[in-house]
Structure 1
Amino acid sequence: MKFKYIACLIGLVLLSSCDDFLEEEPLSELSSDQFFSEPDHAYSAVNSLYRNGAPNMTDGGVYNGTPLMLGAYMSGFFTNEYAGQELHVSNTQQLTLNGENIGGYLQDRWKELYLGISRANNAIKYIPETPELTDAQQNQLLAEAKFFRAFAYYYLVRWFGPVPLTTEPYESLDNLYLERSPITDVYSLIESDLTEALEQGNLPKISMVENGKRVTAGAVATLLADVYLTMSGNPLNANRYADAATLSQEIINGEYGSYALTQHDETGGSIDFENSAYNKIRKGDASATEHIYIKEYDPEIGTSSYPRYSYPVALASEVLYDITNGAYQPSSQFMDLYNPDEDLRAQERQYFHSTYLPTGQTFETAPFFWHDDTAIFETANSGKDFAVYSYSDVLLIAAEAIAMSSGANANAVDYLTQVRSRAYWMSDAAVISSELSGLSTDAFVKEVWKERHRELVFEFRTWFDIVRTGQFPVSDAPGSISFVNAVGHTTEQGKQIEEKHMLLPLPGPELQRNPSLGNDNNGY
């Protein structure tokens, strides 16, 4: 199904002295008890969450990129051609960011995430009171709402640390100014929401593609496994590796659906580069086996900006879009994380490209992974879905979590080997497995980190992993990576990372609106 924007303002009672003006109130003016008066209302409330809150973090404009690119800019590994115009880009790249110079940009993210939370709170409160909903429908909708509430808080706590925690809809002017809750409390809510969604929602154990693009048990389990992995690192250091390992292995073993890595096509015993796994993923819409949680785009509802980022501004005249922008251009140091000879992802027209084939014109390296043939050359309108979580992510979560909780055993080696052998197309999987099997736990985990930085670059994991591990990847030579302490490291932009940079500053406008947030702005 396609999720359309709805005009319903849920949970707000608009007072009027003209009670008889209309016999029926417009949908935009329905109170909560009126809105949740039939099953369609409950579905509309939850459907709105697919386009509000956490899902907004993958949306962006041609000039400013997407919110999830912010960490990539902070790392110094990526740039945006409009950095001079877009102050949130230049200030994060230069590590001069604070709650004022990018306060407006951060305020928009804060507002979007809390809007999603507010709508989820309304749904969670009133769905159980909606007439004619079956128990199964209630459980499903509540599970979806809790998934999206947890996801929104997950972004907030990783970006801002302690944040206000609310689980009730705003239905009055009382208690508007909330204090920041400890990080542990935020993660407790995230965990309980996802656990309840997984255990009580009876969500389908199939892929989102097979489920009409609705959230499934696999999507919830994957997000929860990622949460456990993150909780195990900085700043919480809660050691939930065993939970991450158990849950990710359940996903791998098929308990929440049938997932697998897309494989390369071969011609004459050799890989067909045009139909490599990465190009097959690029050319198709969301994969039923590779992609676990996706953000749905559709030309008639909400279009994707990502094809615009696949070419720099200088190539705009060669494509159908009015303008393109290298909003996610990797630096030379980032590209050096890949072995240029052995890693398929580093080859031209796989993950990246730098040559426009019709004319032979070269340009700064840009993502080829987002190149959409139809949008670029025919329609200037892309409806390709965006993969937020893929099966390769689950394999890497499992490999790291198992190693950290039980040692680098055969399962951990197998999961990492699956990801690496797909990339190192000329290497035998048995050889890769043998090399990994001889490593210590610490050395093995670092190999997982390396693969996360290479493999998940288009799922925007790089900065989150740097914060979580406290380690920054540095290329000693193309394809060779070592790790140094993130705090104190000088980025490719020549800026030194400080402890405060492990979080974003609170938005200045929000601090002015809510005095209960206090005076400490995460060290900024």
Structure 2
Amino acid sequence: MKTKKINGYKFFTAMLALFAMASCTEDFTNRPPEDAISLDAYYSTNEQVESATNGLYSRTWFQLENKFFWAVTEVGSGNMYTNSSDVNALRTFSLTGTDPELKRGWSSLWANVAQANSIINFLAARVGPDVSDSVLQNTIGEAYFMRATAYFYLVRMWGPVPIIENNLNYQSTPKIPVNRTEDIYTLIERDYLMAAEKLNAKTRGSNYAENGRVSKGSAKAMLAKAYLYMKDYAKAKATAEEVINSGEFKLLGGSMLPGKNFGDLFKYAGNNNEESIFALQWKGDGNYGSANNCNTQFGIQTSAVSTSNVSYGGVFAPSQDVLTAFTAGDLRRKETIMLPGDSYPDVKVVQGGFLTVPSADEIGGQNAGAAIKKYCLGIKGDAAGPADQWGMMDNNTYIMRYAELLLIHAEATLGNAGSTSDAGALASFNAVRARAGLSNLASITFDDIFKERRKELCFEGDYWFDLGRISRSQATTIMAAQNRGNRITAEYFTPEPGDFLIPFPEDDLAKNPLLTQPPVPYNFN
């Protein structure tokens, strides 16, 4: 590989191999083979520039999404149960900085920041004259989007963390202070706004192969969510309405797509559907960490029935608490939680035939008496797609769906009021309920929206953060009342105030003791 004209691009050069590692959807694979990349020639075509962000749609997220994300957001929130020692610390609020999965999740998010920084700072100087400026700007917009999203997780999990906009600035300065939470949200806002400016506009249609990459609408939708966390309800409402009025996204099973339904969202054939705002694009390629492990970890794995492609599985199960969350007639329940006797004619099992959920005694090793349906596809095949040697599959993982944007719009319209009958808020809120087979409400409160979010987004990684948005006393009361045990033994745990933020990995803290010092203001240039 050529090395001339590198100067300050050493970090960028080191990342090129990882950029080229992962293909995310079919249109992501048009790139030169890794062993043929020349630093001077690599970005000579539009296709090569477009491929620079491929890894940021999958591989950089894997160590977060493989286990730690679920261990925090779903087990920690009380939606999931597990007794597996590597992922159950937040079930009992005993997570420490020595936890290996914590380290992997933390490192994964910083990998996203580092690689996004490389593209933002250096890509423009590495392109040839034949590269379209619109392609270049869209690719840089993707990097801003990914950096904002990584920081959105960092600030909600850890609180104050260092803001790093160019990793080269810190090569010789490993001790970096943390910055104020409000500054991190300023960075997130600026990055999503920059992404919205640079990214292409889209209309999500039935050609799902064209929907994998993020768009202006994706950036604005995520920005609306960030505004909600910032309690800037006016901006959250206006931004959400801009996306709604654009018509880019549609609710599967809503009035615009009545032939589809909530369950279609989580099928392999549903990858990059009209409702998907941003989803991780898994694609097995023979390398560990390229595909989605949820089918193995969420499905049923017993001697009687197995939905796993390998000889292990069923690491996570529904909590006893979440089993009571769905009311009668809610069509989401069966597509979210599998109960004994439920039949799934599109989920193939190892033993032959299709899945009928066994009795509570036989349903799995977690003794939950139920199993997780979301992201559970069954064994590989035409309907479920391929699986790699680790049993990982190619179904997307949602970061945000249009249904959530509708609920954000309703909540932002409500704002600090006790209730609202605003027509726009009700239209958004009731569209989500109608798809679930539930009746319309004529007036809504924050509690209505809070509970609707839990049901709609269950097992998608949001409930922990929703609990973090309400008062500590309210969240503590909710979590202390949850049965966080299994169907045989009830267990209750009460979080302390410090349990709502994740501890820093101990080895990183040893290298950078400033992580636990008071945050300092960030100087935005």
| TM-score normalised by L of structure 1 | 0.76
Q: Partner of 2:119: helix, strand, or coil? A: helix
Q: CA deviation at 1:503?
A: 0.7
Amino acid of the structure 1 residue aligned with 2:80: F
Q: Map residues 248-397 of structure 1 onto 2, 5 A cutoff.
A: 248-254=240-246, 257-263=248-254, 277-283=261-267, 284-300=269-285, 302-315=290-303, 318-319=306-307, 321-339=309-327, 341-346=328-333, 348=334, 351-355=337-341, 361-362=358-359, 363=363, 364-373=369-378, 375=380, 380-381=387-388, 382-397=393-408
Q: Structure 1 508/486 Cα, relative in aligned 2: closer, same or farther at 3 Å?
A: farther
Letter in 1 for 2:113: I
Query: What residue is the counterpart of 1:46 in the other structure?
Result: 53
1:110 offset after TM fit, Å?
1.7
Over residues 211-245 of structure 1, what are the superposed CA-to-partner deviations in whole Å (9 max), with x where a residue is unaligned?
Answer: 3511111211111111111111xxxxxxx111111
SS at 1:398 equivalent: helix
Q: Distance in 1 between matches of 2:237 and 2:148?
A: 20
Partner Cα separation in structure 2 for residue 192 and residue 417 of structure 1: 32
**Alpha-carbon distance change, 27 to 378 in structure 1, aligned in 2, over 3 angstroms:** closer
Once residues 114 and 368 of structure 1 are traced to their aligned partners in structure 2, the CA distance between those partners, rounded to angstroms, is: 31
Cα shift at 1:512: 0.8
Q: What is the letter of the counterpart of residue 216 of structure 1?
A: S
Structure 1 residues 239-288: Cα deviation after superposition (integer angstroms, max 9, x where no partner):
x1111111111211125x1423325999xxxx9xxx97133333332253
For 2:109, give the aligned amino acid.
L
Gapped runs of 5+ residues in structure 1? 1-7, 15-25, 233-239, 473-482
Structure 1 residue aligned with 2:74: 72
Of all paired residues, the percent bearing the same amino acid is 23
Question: Deviation of residue 487 (structure 1)?
Answer: 8.3
Supply the distance in 2 between the matched residues of 1:405 and 1:10 (Cα, whole angstroms). Answer: 46
Summarize the alignment of residues 103-122 of structure 1 with structure 2, pairs less than 5 Å apart.
104-122=100-118
Partners of 1:91 and 1:324 in 2: how far apart? 21
> Does the 8 Å CA contact 1:488/1:497 hold for their aligned counterparts?
yes
Q: Per-residue displacement from partner, 1:161-217 (whole Å, max 9, x unpaired)? A: 110111113277322321111111111111101101112434435469363511111
Q: Is the 8 Å Cα contact of residues 38 and 131 (structure 1) preserved in structure 2?
A: yes
Map Cα deviations across residues 268-318 of structure 1 (whole Å, 9 max, x no partner): xxx9xxx97133333332253221211112344732222223433325764
Following superposition, the deviation at residue 33 of structure 1 comes to: 7.5
Q: Write the distance in 1 (CA, Å) between the matches of 2:514 and 2:410.
A: 42
Give deviations 1:451-484, integer Å, cap 9, x for gaps. 0001101321111100012379xxxxxxxxxx66
Does residue 225 of structure 1 match 2:224?
A: yes
Aligned counterparts, 1:131-142, within 5 A: 131-132=128-129, 133-142=131-140
Answer yes or no: is the 8 Å Cα contact 2:212–2:281 preserved in 1. yes
Counterpart residue identity of residue 372, structure 1:
L
- The answer on 1:409 being equivalent to 2:422 is yes
Distance 1:13 1:30, change over 3 A: farther
The answer to whether the 8 Å contact 2:79/2:459 transfers is: no
Equivalent position SS for 2:157: helix
Which position in structure 2 is the counterpart of 1:56? 62
- For this pair of structures, how many residues does the alignment match? 453
- C-alpha RMSD of the superposition: 3.6
Local SS of the residue matching 1:457: coil
Q: Residues 160-239 of structure 1 correspond to what in structure 2 (within 5 A)?
A: 160-170=158-168, 173-206=171-204, 209=208, 211-232=210-231
Give, as a single letter, the amino acid of the residue that structure 2 aligns with 1:138: L
Alpha-carbon separation, structure 2, partners of 1:258 and 1:519: 43
Q: How does 1:9-28 map to 2 (within 5 A)?
A: 10-12=11-13
Aligned to 1:499: 497
Query: How far apart, CA to CA, are the structure 1 residues paired with 2:192 and 2:304?
Result: 43
Q: Deviation at 1:48?
A: 2.6
Structure 1 residues 166 and 317, CA gap change in structure 2 (3 angstroms)? same
How far 1:127 sits from its partner (Å)?
2.2
How many Å apart are 1:345 and its aligned residue?
Answer: 2.0
Query: Do the aligned partners of residues 252 and 134 (structure 1) sit closer, same or farther apart at CA in structure 2, a change above 3 Å counting?
Result: same
Distance 1:288 1:510, change over 3 A: same
Contact 2:337 / 2:374 at 8 angstroms: preserved in 1?
A: yes
Task: State the AA in 1 paired with 2:81.
Answer: T
C-alpha displacement of 1:36: 5.8
TM-aligned CA distance change 1:13 to 1:383, over 3 Å: closer
Moved more, 290-299 or 205-214: 205-214
Q: Which amino acid in structure 1 is aligned with residue 195 of structure 2? A: A
Change (3 A) 1:265 1:514: closer
What one-letter code is carried by the residue in structure 2 that aligns with 1:228? Answer: Y
Confirm or deny: 8 A CA contact 2:77 2:464 kept in the other structure. yes
Q: Where does 1:375-454 land on structure 2 (aligned, <5 Å)?
A: 375=380, 380-381=387-388, 382-404=393-415, 407-423=420-436, 425=437, 427=438, 429=439, 432-433=440-441, 436-437=442-443, 444-454=445-455
For 2:42 and 2:225, how far apart are their aligned partners in 1?
35
**1:98 and 1:505 in contact (8 A); partners too:** yes
1:20 aligned partner: none
Aligned position for 2:26: none
Provide the rounded CA distance (Å) in 1 between the counterparts of 2:472 and 2:169.
Answer: 44
CA distance, structure 2, for counterparts of residue 518 and residue 310 of structure 1: 35
Provide the C-alpha distance between the structure 1 equivalents of 2:88 and 2:144, rounded to a whole number of angstroms: 35
Cα distance change of structure 1 residues 408 and 505 upon mapping to structure 2, 3 Å threshold: farther
Residue 469 of structure 2 corresponds to which residue in structure 1? 468
Distance 1:27 1:379 in 2: 24
SS at match of 2:279: strand
Deviations 1:365-397 (A, max 9, x none): 112232324528896553222222111111100
Partner residue of 1:237? Answer: none
Inter-CA distance 11–400: structure 2 relative to 1 (3 Å threshold): same
Distance 2:330 2:246 in 1: 29
Code of the aligned partner of 2:374:
F
Distance 1:318 1:263 in 2: 33
Residue pair 2:72, 2:90 contacting (<8 A) in 1 also: yes
Task: Give yes or no for contact 2:252–2:264 (8 Å, CA) kept in 1.
Answer: no
Letter aligned with residue 281 of structure 1: L
**How many angstroms apart in 1 are the aligned matches of 2:136 and 2:245?**
28
The CA deviation string for residues 11-61 of structure 1, in whole angstroms up to 9 with x for no partner, is 2579xxxxxxxxxxx9799998886676565434322322244x336631x
Counterparts of 1:482-497 in structure 2 under 5 Å? 485-486=476-477, 489-493=480-484, 494-497=492-495
Query: For the residues of structure 1 that align with 2:13 and 2:513, how far apart are their CA atoms?
Result: 24
Indicate the residue corresponding to 1:96 in structure 2.
Answer: 94
Alpha-carbon distance between aligned partners in 2 of 1:379 and 1:140, rounded to the nearest angstrom: 30
Contact 2:58-2:282 at 8 Å conserved across structures: no
User: Please, which runs of 5 or more residues in structure 2 have no aligned partner?
Assistant: 1-8, 16-32, 344-354, 364-368, 485-491, 520-525
Contact 1:70 1:92 (C-alpha < 8 Å) held by counterparts: yes
Relative distance call for 1:189 and 1:225 in structure 2 (3 A) is same
* Displacement of 1:80: 2.2
The verdict on how the C-alpha distance between 1:316 and 1:164 changes in structure 2, with shifts beyond 3 A counting, is: farther
Segment drifting more, 245-254 vs 293-302: 293-302
Secondary structure class of the residue paired with 2:434: helix
1:413 deviates by 1.1
Give the letter aligned to residue 80 of structure 1: T
Q: 1:247 is matched by which residue type in structure 2?
A: T
Separation in structure 1 between the aligned mates of residue 209 and residue 372 of structure 2, nearest angstrom: 28
Q: Which amino acid aligns with 2:430?
A: T
